Structure 1
């Protein structure tokens, strides 16, 4: 627990002296949780991240340069960060050693006046459970699990719930406790269990993404940088640009894979499949209008200029550039004329 000793000694300095001793980085191993931290500036937020399921790691996999989930992204945004990475497959941050560490840590963070929490799924549970203890101001949660206590959430019948029962779900920090924290929760309302967990966070702003799913379905969104962009905005500005978020989710609707994922997630409901089919047909028309609208705003003159400049030395390349321009603005008479000249 090197961090606790360092913080305890560091707090004896004045604020200017504390700042002068930064940056500081290090790591600790707390039973079955690895923690890595870096403090860079007292005037920047302090971000906590907890790893989600699927980032399973063993102690022998740890090395000097290993970074827990969310750590590198936080460092790129130049915020202070403490990242917790669970070890092993079934690990819900219930270790007594980890809890003791967090209880001690919470008393040593006074210089950091603004604190954030970011978690996904299992990591979202940890952010919610420890938010009040760590005095978080803002949280960003993607389809979190609020608890695995079956008396509180009897409707959570996932296989992970049964496996998780080997841990204590009656003791401290077994359920969400946001304290003063506000922020955002992002989830798929078509996922019954996620929707019911999300309802237990009335203090947060609810942002719904149809078809986002949970677990493997959610990896689809990573291809388009969905998680990353929202998290970056949250770390940089301590808020999510909801208008931009809506635009991002609207753009997802134009991707064919999106409907394949939705159809798969709702395969057991004929009613929902019918609604999805209608929505898909409407969006096909919207997509065509969207493409035409943006084509009207495209300036292909630079492509034409480069093609004409190099038409003698590289005629094939010039033709390819003009053909690309024609794809962007298929009805442009100038592009058609220049293509005929070079053909």
Structure 2
């Protein structure tokens, strides 16, 4: 546990001397979790990231350049970072070695005055469970999981819940404990289990994205920069521009390719396909209203003027311009009238 020894010695210096000793980069293997860290500036935020399911690394996969989930993103934003990467598939950050490490670590972080947490699904559970211990100020959670304790969340009947019962869900840090932390939780309200987990985070700002599912579509969403841009804003500014976020998600949801990808990813589940169909129908109505709203603001008069100007010499071009105008503003009487004249 090189990090603990280094921090313990580092704390004996004055703040100015602490800064001189940075940057500090390293990695530790703590039981079934790999920890990688980089400290660059004692005056900048310290970000904690915990890996989600699907990043199933084994100990033999580790190498000098290996970066846990979220680590490179933090480096690009030039903040201090400690990233926790679970090893193996069924790993919920419940090992006694890790908990002891975190308890010791929490006592050695006094120089870092502002602390952030970022996690998705299983990683979001860890951020929420250790937030108070690590004295986090702001958190960003995607696809929330508050606990796998079946007495607290009996409605979480995912297969991952049954697998998770091999761990202790009654000792310390088995449930969310945000402490003073505020921040954001982002989830799909049509996913009933996610919605119920999210309700257990009333302290956070809830941002809902219909049809995003529970993390099975991260690659597709990343195609549109969804996760990355939200995380970058959070890390850089410790807040999310909610108006911009809603505009971004509305644009994403209007893409038919988005729903095609979601349906393909959930082809095995009639229940999820039903939820997606409900969300899609809601968005079809919303999209139509959105298009009508913008059509009302479109001025096609310049297209009509050009068509009239060239209708004698280039009638086919004039017709194409008017047809384009008709697509922009269907049922506009002036466009229909001119088209009837030329056809």
* Normalised-by-shorter TM-score class: 0.7 to 0.9
CA contact (8 A) 1:254 1:284 kept: no
**Cross-structure match for 2:176:** 176
Query: Structure 1: which 4+ aligned runs deviate by more than 4 Å?
Result: 261-272, 287-296
Unaligned segments of structure 2, at least 5 residues: 301-319, 326-343
Name the SS of the counterpart of 2:162 in structure 1. helix
- Equivalences for residues 217-256 of structure 1 within 5 A: 217-256=217-256
CA contact (8 A) 1:187 1:207 kept: yes
Q: CA deviation at 1:221?
A: 1.3
Cα 1:223/1:238, change in 2 over 3 Å:
same
Q: How far apart, in 1, do the equivalents of 2:297 and 2:70 lie?
A: 37
Q: CA deviation at 1:253?
A: 2.4
**Cross-structure match for 1:257:** 257
CA contact (8 A) 1:49 1:117 kept: yes
Q: CA deviation at 1:136?
A: 0.2
List per-residue Cα deviations over 1:202-245 (Å, max 9, x = no partner): 00000000001013134321110100000000000001110110
Q: How far apart, in 1, do the equivalents of 2:81 and 2:228 lie?
A: 16
**Cross-structure match for 2:203:** 203
- Equivalences for residues 88-103 of structure 1 within 5 A: 88-103=88-103
Cα 1:136/1:292, change in 2 over 3 Å:
same
- Equivalences for residues 6-85 of structure 1 within 5 A: 6-85=6-85
- Equivalences for residues 180-329 of structure 1 within 5 A: 180-260=180-260, 268=271, 273=277, 276-277=280-281, 279-280=283-284, 282-284=286-288, 286-287=290-291
Name the SS of the counterpart of 1:116 in structure 2. strand
Q: CA deviation at 1:143?
A: 1.0
**Cross-structure match for 1:323:** none
Q: CA deviation at 1:11?
A: 0.4
Q: CA deviation at 1:50?
A: 0.2
Q: CA deviation at 1:19?
A: 0.3
Name the SS of the counterpart of 1:97 in structure 2. helix
Cα 1:271/1:229, change in 2 over 3 Å:
closer
Q: CA deviation at 1:20?
A: 0.4
CA contact (8 A) 1:211 1:261 kept: no
Q: CA deviation at 1:279?
A: 3.7
Name the SS of the counterpart of 2:249 in structure 1. helix
Give the TM-score of the pair, scaled to structure 2. 0.81
List per-residue Cα deviations over 1:172-231 (Å, max 9, x = no partner): 000000000000000000000000000000000000000010131343211101000000
Q: How far apart, in 2, do the equivalents of 1:5 and 1:295 lie?
A: 68
Q: CA deviation at 1:262?
A: 6.2
Cα 1:178/1:294, change in 2 over 3 Å:
farther
**Cross-structure match for 2:311:** none
32-41 vs 244-253, which deviates more?
244-253
CA contact (8 A) 1:86 1:93 kept: yes
Q: How far apart, in 1, do the equivalents of 2:275 and 2:82 lie?
A: 45
CA contact (8 A) 1:50 1:119 kept: yes
CA contact (8 A) 1:131 1:179 kept: yes
**Cross-structure match for 1:334:** none
Alignment RMSD (CA, Å): 2.5
**Cross-structure match for 1:113:** 113
CA contact (8 A) 1:143 1:188 kept: yes
**Cross-structure match for 1:104:** 104
Q: How far apart, in 1, do the equivalents of 2:298 and 2:47 lie?
A: 38
How many residue pairs get matched?
Answer: 300
Cα 1:171/1:288, change in 2 over 3 Å:
same
Cα 1:258/1:5, change in 2 over 3 Å:
same
